A = this chain, B = another copy of it.
């Protein structure tokens, strides 16, 4: 079993690669839920949905979020009615949010709903939230603490980030099947090339999760989301700079600290001071072949460390 920790778009690319080279039963994807939020009375789980859409082949490579077969009648009408239109909800995407919210209100767990949606979409590997309890990432900007999606989408990640917190994390319980998979001694734990601050650290902030990873005895391999000092997509580099560290592959490895036993990074990037064993690979995933090749590199790194 490979246990892969993932945020949205970058992580989902590697998760898709892993899904192409592993039998479905040998891959468990643990999704960040720190950027989940309540909007218009709906519970929206962006990373779970990006993972599901990507693994189902429904993702929208042009937008970088949502579905490729989307329509916007709901959003157009909502705007005309004076409703909030800063967070774009496609008509088809909305079906997931409405159904999930309704089932959560009926006391079904997010894990159970996510697993059902995953199966309905014809996705083989399991995708599970890091916790069934709500964890909500918050950003401290110059105007105080704001909700993550307010910062990320409504304010287009513009406010300078002074700190990040994960509200609810202290009381959250790790998803039981994730814990069980870690206890069973996985082949590896893969940390996908996601933003460490807002995609991976919320997962690690769930009490018991970091310890369970360490106790698993498995190689823990992270893939750098930073190439040549820049993020492929999203605010990772900006957040490093604003939080006081020049963005680099090494800076990402340093944030994960003693959790890592291996680190996959781009050929040519500076590995000075990186503690875990470094493996070089092509980490920019444009095509499906790129994703598959990177997935194979992660597995090879893990097996080299066993």
Contact = CB atoms under 8 A, between A and B. Distances in A.
- Chain A: interface secondary structure? helix
Interface stretch (A72-80, A233-241, A268-276): A72-80
B117 A81 contact: yes
A70, A82, A121: residue with the most chain B Cβ atoms closer than 10 Å: A82
Given A69-B73, A81-B121, 12 more contacts: A40-B102, A73-B73, A73-B95, A74-B94, A74-B98, A77-B94, A77-B96, A82-B116, A83-B95, A83-B99, A91-B91, A91-B94
Contacts of A98: 40-42, 74, 78, 83, 98
A155 interface: no
A73 B105 CA distance: 24
Contacts of A81: 95-96, 99, 116-117, 120-121
A75 B70 CA distance: 13
A80 B40 contact: no
- Most chain B CB neighbours (cut-off 10 Å) among A69, A99, A116: A99
Interface string A114-143: 001100110000000000000000000000
Contacts of A80: 95, 120
Interface string A37-71: 00011100000000000000000000000000111
A82 to B, nearest CB: 6
The interface size bin for chain A is: 20 to 34
A92 to B, nearest CB: 4
This chain's copy number in the assembly: 2
A229 interface: no
Interface of A: 40-42, 69-71, 73-78, 80-83, 90-92, 94-96, 98-99, 101-102, 105, 116-117, 120-121
The residue among A74, A105, A121 with the most chain B CB atoms within 10 A of its own CB is A74
A102 B97 CA distance: 14
Contacts of A92: 73-74, 76-77
Nearest to A41: B102
A70 B76 CA distance: 12
B120 A82 contact: yes
A95 B77 contact: yes
